[in-house]
């Protein structure tokens, strides 16, 4: 057990301080637990959550194929234009567009799509782009919490449980969108002077030609209906007896069948590094589980909380937010899933999963390195001459995370305690 813990802790430390590519770190860690025979190969293979990997891969293909049509850019521009140049409405509509898109696309794609458009809007409106971008990042991490496919921690939880898409929506969407609305509004008031739009600049946002964003209308006609059907299928996957990964991969397969895009290029553009990162993590966590370390951690939590359910729920959600915020919410979730399985074993009590999902997803806002969209937005801002450093992000991320977690605490106490 000590070897498994040592290897996992070392890997986590390397990921947290960004020494080496996180995928390489995870794969080396997985190799280490296999070579030291901390876990045998058969068990390691079973430790990999193929459901989560299938769902991720399927959604990556769906998003890659549909984003080339320009439909998401169209939606973002329409959202911005709905504000008619008024700054509060602009912030609200961009924040809402980010939250909704991130609930159905992966968070990284959402940010990669929206940040360049936001820079353009900021130039057109002659305002500081950084408050808008930070608001989008926060909205992205909070909005992604709302659905089963919106954020990697949720995908991982779905892969390990039989919770349905509707379960996630019913339990997570209300608190995610309420928190998002308050956070976006509060950040607007904090930055309102920087976001003030001169009356003469207001009309410029309407000079964007939203229809012109549709890069390939014929491809959109081919893929659009499949995209809609795939999203609808998520809502009813449980009654029709399909796993979320089956829905995602079916949508992806049908899109690949009808698309005119190069299939090999599409498949090559999948984030293989992310998928292999997950594989490495699952094997390392499998070793923790196999050696009994997870059971000890779960027992430790039960001991600390004295077996009090409310204390356990709050302990899981707060530790997920803080630890996930300091390292990375993906390894945190991978570790916590078997712990939560142990704690909630046989009870059929789903509240533990919602506590974990809310903590892990909302914790993604705490630091620059806590979630992939944060890093991507900071890199793009830096390339555009507006660096967002670790401390600058922290000054926004910490208050937002703590406020969000107080909202979550109230929600858990009201709904699940």
Partner 1 sequence: MMIVDRLLRDVPLLKVDDTVGDAAKWILASGAPALPVVKRDGRLHGIFGEREFIAAIFPGYVSELKFAGFVRQSLDDAIQRRSGKLLEPVGRFANRERIAVKEDYAVAQLAETFLHHRVLIVPVVDAGRQVRGIVTRSDFFATLVDRASPVPPPSDAG
For the stretch 396-415, what's the b/e string if a residue is b when 16 or more beta carbons lie within 10 angstroms of its beta carbon?
bbebbbbbbbebbbebbeee
177 near partner 1 (CB under 8 A): no
Q: Smallest distance, Å, CB 69 to partner 1?
A: 9
DSSP code for 216: -
Q: Which of 211, 221, 395, 415 binds partner 1 (CB under 8 A)?
A: 211
The set of residues, in sequence order, having a beta carbon less than 8 Å from that of 228 and lying 6+ positions away, is: none
- Residues in the interface with partner 1 (CB under 8 A) total 30
Phi-psi region of 151 (alpha: psi -120 to 50; beta: other; left: phi over 0): beta
Structure tokens at 411: 């929600």
> How many residues in the chain?
417
Q: Assess 262 for contact with partner 1 (CB under 8 A).
A: no
Can you tell me which of 36, 40, 86, 212 binds partner 1, judged by CB under 8 A? 212
Task: Give the chain's end-to-end CA distance (angstroms, integer).
Answer: 34
Task: Write each residue from 213 to 252 as x if it is in contact with partner 1 (CB under 8 A), else as -, in one continuous string.
Answer: xxx-------------------------------------
Angle between the N-to-C axes of helices 244-258 and 217-235, in degrees from 0 to 180, rounded to the nearest 10? 160
Q: Which is nearer to partner 1, 61 or 314 (CB)?
A: 61
Q: Which residue matches tokens 């499949």?
A: 226
Task: Using the minimum distance from each CB to partner 1, give the nearer residue, 36 or 262.
Answer: 262
Binding segment for partner 1 (CB under 8 A), chosen from 180-188, 267-275, 354-362, 379-387, is 379-387
Q: Which two tokens stand for residue 357?
A: 């999902």
Among 30, 33, 91, 113, binds partner 1 (CB under 8 A): 113
Q: Count the alpha carbons within 13 Å of 261 in the hemisphere toward its beta carbon.
A: 27
68 binds partner 1, rule: CB under 8 A: yes
77 binds partner 1 (CB under 8 A): yes
Cβ of residue 235: shortest distance to partner 1, in angstroms? 28
Q: Please, what is the minimum distance in Å from the beta carbon of residue 116 to partner 1?
A: 4
385 binds partner 1 (CB under 8 A): yes
Q: Decide: is 40 part of the binding site for partner 1 (CB under 8 A).
A: no
**1, 5, 120, 275: which one binds partner 1 (CB under 8 A):** 120
Q: How far is the CB of 255 from partner 1 (least distance, A)?
A: 18
A 10 A CB-CB count for 22 gives: 24
392 is a site residue for partner 1 (CB under 8 A): no
Q: Does 67 bind partner 1 (CB under 8 A)?
A: yes
Stretch that binds partner 1, among 177-185, 226-234, 286-294, 380-388 (CB under 8 A): 380-388
Q: Hey, what are 336's tokens?
A: 């916590």
- Site stretch for partner 1 (CB under 8 A), options 178-186, 211-219, 281-289, 393-401: 211-219
Q: Is 380 in the site for partner 1 (CB under 8 A)?
A: yes
CA 253, CA 232: separation in Å to the nearest integer? 16
Residue corresponding to tokens 């956070």: 183
Give least dist CB 207 to partner 1, A: 5
**Binding of partner 1 at residue 269 (CB under 8 A)?**
no
The alpha carbon torsion through 86, 81, 378, 192 (nearest 10 deg) reads 0
Distance, CA of 144 to CA of 3 (rounded, Å): 35
Q: Which residue of 42, 207, 265, 303 would you call a contact of partner 1, by CB under 8 A?
A: 207
Task: Select the residue interacting with partner 1 from 161, 250, 299, 384 (CB under 8 A).
Answer: 384
CB of 70 to partner 1, least distance (A): 5
Return left, alpha or beta for 271; rule: phi > 0 is left, psi -120 to 50 is alpha, else beta. beta
* 132 Cβ contact partners less than 8 Å away, ≥ 6 residues apart: 91, 94, 118, 121, 122, 195
Give the footprint of partner 1 on this chain (CB under 8 A).
67-68, 70, 73-74, 77, 112-113, 115-117, 119-120, 123-124, 126, 204, 207-215, 380, 383-385
């Amino acid at each position: 057990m000590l070897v498994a813990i040592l290897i996992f802790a070392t890997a986590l430390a390397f990921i947290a301080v960004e020494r080496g590519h996180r995928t390489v770190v995870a794969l080396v860690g997985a190799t280490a637990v296999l070579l030291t025979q901390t876990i045998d190969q058969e068990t390691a293979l079973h430790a990999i959550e193929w459901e989560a990997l299938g769902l991720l891969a399927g959604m990556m293909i769906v998003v890659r194929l549909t984003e080339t049509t320009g439909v998401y850019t169209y939606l973002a521009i329409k959202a911005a234009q709905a504000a008619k140049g008024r700054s509060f409405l602009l912030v609200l509509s961009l924040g809402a567009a980010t939250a909704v898109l991130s609930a159905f696309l992966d968070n990284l794609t959402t940010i990669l799509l929206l940040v360049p458009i936001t820079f353009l809007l900021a130039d057109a409106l002659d305002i500081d782009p950084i408050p808008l971008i930070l608001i989008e990042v926060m909205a992205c991490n909070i909005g992604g919490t709302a659905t089963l496919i919106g954020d990697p921690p949720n995908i991982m939880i779905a892969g390990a449980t039989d919770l349905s898409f509707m379960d996630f929506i019913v339990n997570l969407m209300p608190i995610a969108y309420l928190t998002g609305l308050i956070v976006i509004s509060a950040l607007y008031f904090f930055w309102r002077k920087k976001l003030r739009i001169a009356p003469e600049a207001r009309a410029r946002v309407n000079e964007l030609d939203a229809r012109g964003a549709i890069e390939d209308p014929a491809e959109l006609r081919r893929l659009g209906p499949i995209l809609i059907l795939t999203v609808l299928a998520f809502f009813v996957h449980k009654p029709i007896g399909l796993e979320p990964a089956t829905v995602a991969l079916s949508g992806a397969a049908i899109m690949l069948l009808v698309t005119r895009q190069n299939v090999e290029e599409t498949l090559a553009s999948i984030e293989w590094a992310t998928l292999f990162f997950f594989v490495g993590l699952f094997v390392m966590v499998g070793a923790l589980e196999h050696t009994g370390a997870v059971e000890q951690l779960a027992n430790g939590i039960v001991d600390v909380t004295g077996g009090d359910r409310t204390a356990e729920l709050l302990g899981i959600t707060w530790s997920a937010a803080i630890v996930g915020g300091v390292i990375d919410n993906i390894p945190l979730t991978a570790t916590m899933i078997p712990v939560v399985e142990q704690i909630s074993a046989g009870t059929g009590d789903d509240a533990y999963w919602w506590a974990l999902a809310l903590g892990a997803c909302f914790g993604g806002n705490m630091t620059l390195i806590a979630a992939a969209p944060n890093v991507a937005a900071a890199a793009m801002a830096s390339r555009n001459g507006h660096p967002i450093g670790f401390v600058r992000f922290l000054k926004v991320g910490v208050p937002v995370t703590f406020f969000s977690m107080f909202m979550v605490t109230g929600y858990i106490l009201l709904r699940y305690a």
